[in-house]
Amino acid sequence: MNLRDKLKESTREAILEAAVSVIISNENDMRMEDVAEKAGVAIGTLYNYFGNRQLLIDTIIEKRRKMAEDHIRQSLAQTAGQDVAARLEKLFQTLQGFLARHRTVTHHALQAKEADANSPGQKSLTAMLNEHVSDILQEAVQREEIRPEDMDLYPLVISGYLKGIFALADDSLETGSRPDFAKRLAELFLNGAARRS
Partner DNA sequence: AATGAATGAGCTTTCATTCAT
Partner DNA sequence: TATGAATGAAAGCTCATTCAT
Q: Give contact residues for DNA (rule: CB under 7 A).
A: 3-4, 7-8, 11, 28-33, 40-45, 47-49, 52-54
Which of 191, 118, 129, 193 is CA-nearest to residue 159? 129
Q: Which of residues 59-98 bind a second copy (CB under 8 A)?
A: none
Q: Pick from 4, 28, 81, 195: which binds a second copy (CB under 8 A)?
A: 195
Least distance (Å) between residue 2 CB and a second copy:
17
DSSP state, 179? T
Q: Are 83 and 169 in contact (CB under 8 A)?
A: no
Contact between 167 and a second copy (CB under 8 A)? Answer: yes
Residue among 63, 59, 18 at smallest CA distance from 36: 18
Alpha helical stretches, state H, 2-114: 3-25, 32-39, 43-50, 53-78, 84-111
Question: b vs e for 94-118, b when ≥16 Cβ sit within 10 Å of the residue's Cβ?
Answer: bbbebbbebeebbbbbbebeeeeee
Looking at the Cβ atoms of 8 and 103, the one nearer to DNA is 8
Q: Does residue 111 interact with a second copy by CB under 8 A?
A: yes
- Tell me which of 66, 153, 174, 175 binds a second copy, using CB under 8 A: 153
150 near a second copy, judged by CB under 8 A: yes
Binder of a second copy out of 59, 92, 161, 173 (CB under 8 A) = 161
Residue from 4, 5, 117, 196 touching a second copy (CB under 8 A): that is 196
